[in-house]
Structure 1
Amino acid sequence: MPRRLHSLRSLLALAASTVIIGLALTACTPQPTADPEPSGEPAVSSAPTTTPAPEPSFHPDGTAEDNLPVFTKIVEQVGASPENVSGRAYIDALVAAGFDRAGMQVTEDGTTVGNPAESIQFSVRWGEDLCLVGQVGPSTGAPVTMIMDQLAEGRCLIGNTRPIDW
């Protein structure tokens, strides 16, 4: 019997230790607190709020830098449309936004042997020395837009361009 009594005491001591440790851990765990008197007002969030960026817009008296965002937006919109490899679609969209058709250039949509062009370029002359230039097509991946210096005679694109006569 002394051996049984010793085992029973050990078992009781182990159980008591487990209960004490469990109580100690529970006491250390933060407990949720209830608002004793709800105010009835909505909770104020501490999360920062973001204001959506304004839509880019055309600035006829602005700089090339001022107008690059709207030029880019138009190029991206046409680039996401079924007419994404039609130079005319880009020119028409830029004219609709306010850009001057007389200052534009566009390359051909196809090659001299009738294949679709790997890329097409289009541009808008801006002021006396700058151009807004876009390039799209299978070889470029995503549409590309940039500001470049004008070339000789106020041109923006190198090589042959097609007349914008529509």
Structure 2
Amino acid sequence: MRNVGQRAVPFSLAACVGVVLMLSGCTTAAPTPTPTLSVSLTPTATPTPTPTGPALMPNGSAAQNLPYFTSIVDAVASGPQAAQGRAYIDALTAGGFDKSAMEVTQDLTTVGNQADSVQFSVKWKGECLVGQVGPSVPGPQARVLPLVPEGTCLVGQTRPIDW
């Protein structure tokens, strides 16, 4: 019996070791890592708004529209028709000003020489947007002035705007 008993201990020990090994083989493996989504933000340039420049303000005052008037005057003055009153009237009309509210002086003197200056205006809500260009003027000028007592913007003789 002793032999049987002695064999029983190693058998029991071997059985326990076998069970432990089997159970350790049955444990779940470490979970496989799930890929995580990582987002890296790369800085991008924010579009800069394009400056639009002055615009006609139909409900604005003459002073509020002076920058727009001036921008048109400057554009014409830098072009090939800088000494022609009609070019200013046409550009102001194209810019949205009312042609029937405009006045312009002569481009030429009575003997056919270029005038020392050409003046043009737009009557606007009881005031005048007045421009002046020409060889006697240091550069294109634009101002807001009051109406003259006759209800016009320019003093002296103006030419008809009949085109």
TM-score when normalising by structure 2:
0.69
In the TM superposition, residue 66 of structure 1 has moved relative to its aligned partner by 1.5
Query: Which of 111, 124, 131 lines up with 1:134 in the alignment?
Result: 131
RMSD between superposed Cα atoms in Å: 2.1
What are the within-5 Å matches in structure 2 for residues 1-166 of structure 1?
Answer: 41=42, 53-128=51-126, 130-166=127-163
2-structure distance, mates of 1:40, 1:61: 46
Partner of 1:125, secondary structure, is strand
In the TM superposition, residue 61 of structure 1 has moved relative to its aligned partner by 1.4
In the TM superposition, residue 54 of structure 1 has moved relative to its aligned partner by 3.5
| Structure 1 unaligned spans of 5+ | 1-38, 45-49
Q: Which amino acid aligns with 2:158?
A: T
Give the count of matched residue pairs: 123
In the TM superposition, residue 57 of structure 1 has moved relative to its aligned partner by 0.7
- 2:37 is matched with which residue? none
| Structure 2 unaligned spans of 5+ | 1-39
Instruction: Pick closer, same or farther for the CA change 1:75–1:42 going to 2, 3 Å.
Output: same
2-structure distance, mates of 1:52, 1:141: 31
- 1:12 is matched with which residue? none
In the TM superposition, residue 141 of structure 1 has moved relative to its aligned partner by 2.2
In the TM superposition, residue 90 of structure 1 has moved relative to its aligned partner by 0.1
**Large movers: runs of 4+ above 4 Å:** 39-44, 50-53
Q: Which amino acid aligns with 1:80?
A: S
Partner of 1:139, secondary structure, is coil
Q: Which amino acid aligns with 1:138?
A: P
CA contact (8 A) 1:125 1:154 kept: no
1-structure distance, mates of 2:150, 2:161: 18
1-structure distance, mates of 2:125, 2:43: 54
2-structure distance, mates of 1:108, 1:115: 11
CA contact (8 A) 1:87 1:106 kept: yes
1-structure distance, mates of 2:42, 2:89: 54
Identity of aligned residues (%): 53
Instruction: Pick closer, same or farther for the CA change 1:43–1:76 going to 2, 3 Å.
Output: closer
Deviation digits for residues 20-52 of structure 1 (CA, Å, limit 9, x no counterpart) = xxxxxxxxxxxxxxxxxxx995599xxxxx866
Partner of 2:129, secondary structure, is strand
1-structure distance, mates of 2:145, 2:131: 10
